[in-house]
Amino acid sequence: MLVVRPIAMSDYDALHTCAVESGHGFTSLPVNQELLTNRITHSEYSFSKSNVTEPGDEGYLMVGFDSESGEVAGTTGIEAAVGWDMPCYSYHISTIVHSSPKLGVNNVVKLLTFGNNYTGCSEICTLYLRPAFRQGLNGRLMSKCRFLMMAEHPERFSQTIFAEMRGVSDEQGNSPFWQWLQEHFFSIDFTMADYLTGIGKKGFIADLMPKLPIYINLLSKEAQAVIGQVHEKTRPALALLEKEGFTCRNYVDIFDAGPSVECDLRNIESVRESVRAKVEVAAHSSSQTFLMCNSSFEQFRATAAKAAHNRENGTVIIAPDVALALQVETGDWVRILAQ
C-alpha cells in the first residue's frame, strides 16, 4: 500500500535519488545537497505551523512510501503562495493586430510578455514517481492527495491553483526555446540556467531577460514549435490535471516555454467531488476504491484503498490496515474521493 505523508529529514537520501532520476528541466528538484536539505527543513517548519488563516511562505513537501517495505516511491508538493520571497516569472502570450485599411493589410501577430502574473497563487509542484512504482492508482494518489489536502484545509491555500508543466527538451537537456534566448540574450546553456533557477539564484533572469515584448514570429521555427508544448514524460501529468479542470491561460515558462495550467480551488474536480465521512474500522466486502486522507494537517496521511461508504449516514468502513496507515480510529473523520 502506498501512503503519503509529510517529508522528514530522514528522507533526504530518497529525495536526492528522486532529484537525480527526474533529470533536466525538473527545476523544483535540483541536485544540490544544501537546497534539498533546505526544502525539507522548510517543509517541516510549514507543517508544524498552527492557526494558519491564509497562505503565506509555507511550502509543503510530501513523500509516498510503501507501507510494507518503507521504501520511498516518490514526492509531491505544494507552495502555498509563490512570488513573495523569490520572484515567479512567466511569459504571457497575447495577440495584437497590425492593420492598415488604406493598404488592405491586416496581420495578426502574437507576443511574449515578461511578468510575475502568478504572484500570491498556490502552486502544485515537485510531483515525481519513481519508475518501479508507476502502476495502479499510485500516480493518481500522488497527484490528487494535494487536492484532498486543499479541500480539507482551504484556508492555507490561494483561490487560484496553478502548475508549471515541463517543456520540451532533449535527452541532453537542450531546449529549442532556450537556445534562441541564449543566442540573443544569454551566454549560459539551458541546464545551467535551469540549475541556477532551482537553487534560487534568479537575479540573472531579471538582469538579462528582454524587458520589451517579443514577437513570436521572429523566433526560430524550432523555438516557435515548442511554445506551450509539454515534455513527453509530462503528458500523463498534464492529462490528469486537465481532467481536474486545469487549463492553460496563455502563460508559459520563460526557459522551455512549457505551459502553466490553472484552476480555481473551488472548481477542481477532486475538491468538488470529495466528501467527509466518519470512520468505522472493521472488515468489509466492498469493491469500491477511494482515495482518502485523514483530517490532520501536521500528521497528514493519504492512501488509496477499498472502503464501504454510506452516503445516507455519512460513514465509511475501512479495514484495520487502512486505518493504521491513515492514523485514524473509529469516530475520526476522513475525506474520501471515489475512483
What confidence category does residue 331 fall into, taking pLDDT thresholds of 50, 70 and 90? very high
Per-residue pLDDT, averaged over 11-30, amounts to 84
Catalytic residue annotation: 231
For the CA atoms of 263, 43, 18, 177, the dihedral, rounded to the nearest 10 degrees, stands at 50
Gap between the Cα atoms of 234 and 331, Å rounded: 40
- Alpha-carbon torsion (29, 30, 32, 37), positive or negative: negative
Question: Could you give all domains of the chain from N- to C-terminal order, each with its CATH number?
Answer: 2-90+115-270 (3.40.630.30), 274-338 (2.40.40.20)
Gap between the Cα atoms of 183 and 206, Å rounded: 17
Gap between the Cα atoms of 260 and 264, Å rounded: 14
pLDDT at 24 over 70: no
Average pLDDT, the chain: 91
Per-residue pLDDT, averaged over 20-47, amounts to 86
C-alpha distances in angstroms, 117 versus 21, 95, 209, 296, 307? 31, 17, 16, 32, 42
For residue 151, what is the enclosing H or E element?
helix 138-152
Gap between the Cα atoms of 292 and 303, Å rounded: 6
- Taking only the tens place, the pLDDT of each residue in 208-231 is 677 789 999 999 999 999 999 999
pLDDT at 206 over 70: no
For residue 60, what is the enclosing H or E element?
strand 59-66
Q: What share of the chain is helix, strand, coil (3-state, %, to 5)?
A: 35, 30, 35
Instruction: Spell out the alpha helix ranges (H) of 174-231.
Output: 176-184, 190-198, 203-208, 221-226
Per-residue pLDDT, averaged over 269-297, amounts to 97
Q: Is 105 helix (H, G, I), strand (E, B) or coil?
A: strand
- Taking only the tens place, the pLDDT of each residue in 243-268 is 999 999 999 998 889 999 999 999 99
